[in-house]
Structures are given as C-alpha cells and as structure tokens.
Amino acid sequence: MSRLIVWRHGNTDWNAGHRVQGQTDVPLNAVGRQQAVDAAELLVKMRPDAIVSSDLQRAADTAAALAALTGLSISYDKRLRERYFGDWQGLTMIEVAERHPDQYDRWKRGQEVGGAVESLPDLGKRVCEALHEAAALAPPGGTVVVATHGSAARQGVGQLLGWPPAQLRTLRALQNCHWVELTHDRDRGWQVAAYNVGRFTDRPVPPPA
C-alpha cells in the first residue's frame, strides 16, 4: 500500500492577518517556520521516499524543514500553487466583501466566483495531476510528501478521490502545517486515512461518510 501526504504550509503574516494570499509569494513567519520544524519531526517517522512542493516560498520553506531531516532533495511543481484569487489577493475577507460583494456572496455559497478568480474545477484538475505524478515518484508501498496550500490541497484531494463538490464542502480547511494522509492499493484505489493531522492534533479527523 502506497501513501501520499498532502501537507499545507506553515503560518505567514498574511494568514495571521486574514489576508487572501492566493499566488502572492508570501514567506513563512517565525511561527510558520517553527510549525514546519515541529511537523517535520512527525513526518520523518513516516520514512518518506520523495518530497514535492509548490514553488511558492511558504510551501518550499515548509518542505525544506522535512528535507533537512531526511536528506531528500525537493522537486518543485508550479501546479501545486494555491488558487489564483485575482483582485482578492492582498485583501482581508472584510475588504473582499466590501469591494466585491457579488463575488463574495457566490464564494460564501460555494458557487464559482467568476472574474479573474480561478475556477474550482481548474484548480482541482491541475493539483490532482501534480499529485498523481508526485505519487509515482515512490516505489510500491512507499511514501511521498507534497507541500502545498489550503485551497489547493482540499480541491486536489477531492479531485483525486472523485468526490462531488457538495461532499468536498463538508471538509473543514486544513490548519497551517497540517496534512491529509491518503493511501492507495490496486483494489480500492485512493482512500483517506486521516485528515487535518498535525503537531497539535489529538486524533485524526475522519473524512465524511
């Protein structure tokens, strides 16, 4: 049975300030760097065979914490970048609601935002393609860790599992430096083993039925 760990990056100042990051290249802050180190100490016990990361700095630096413990090199894939949020990037959600009320309302209802904001199907497709290629880097029964972003992780995992949008919306957002553990075998395909797991998680959160 092979294993794929889809890992959200550590905290940034924009996370702390509730600003939309999207594909803006915001670095980890001190909290995020420590989160990455703490999480890496758990993930190294899974004996990863490969590490793949978004090329945005916050994900790449998160992956680097695990690379430092394993001695593995990091492969970078632009398809693992966060969702592109267009004019929302750099704004707080309060500012988004004030400046783009119609788009914000559609976003709250789980509908396509429109405008320059990347569609969820497009996001899911590109991230899922990257996850498939990342998983192929490990030998049978091996483990690959992928460092990416919150929206990218959820949508990519949902596409990989073949979940419909309504089911995917039941998943809460990944916390900073938490991950999804997926397993794969020939008979059952991809399955969720754990969701939103991290350094300060008491127990894995089961996926929806």
CATH number, residue 149? 3.40.50.1240
pLDDT 10s digits, 33-75: 999 999 999 999 999 999 999 999 999 999 999 999 999 999 9
173, 190: one domain: yes
149 included as an active-site residue: no
Query: Would the pTM of this model clear 0.85, i.e. be above it?
Result: yes
Token digits for 151? 């929206």
Query: 93: domain range?
Result: 85-117
Same domain, 65 and 160: yes
Tens digits of residue pLDDT in 76-87: 999 999 999 999
Whether residues 45 and 137 fall in one domain: yes
Which residue reads 């553990």 in tokens?
A: 181
In this structure, are 26 and 59 located in the same domain? yes
Alpha carbons 204 and 56: distance in angstroms, whole number: 27
Domain closes at, from 66, 100, 117: 117
Q: Which of 9, 100, 149, 178 is catalytic?
A: 9
Q: For residue 28, is it within any domain?
A: yes
Task: State whether 104 and 132 are in the same domain.
Answer: no
- Tell whether 68 and 89 lie within a shared domain: no
Q: Are both 126 and 175 inside the same structural domain?
A: yes
Is 202 among the domain residues? Answer: no
Q: Is residue 203 part of a domain?
A: no
Considering 18, 41, 82, 184, which one is annotated as catalytic? 82
Catalytic (active site) residue 129: no
Domain boundary among 99, 117, 135: 117
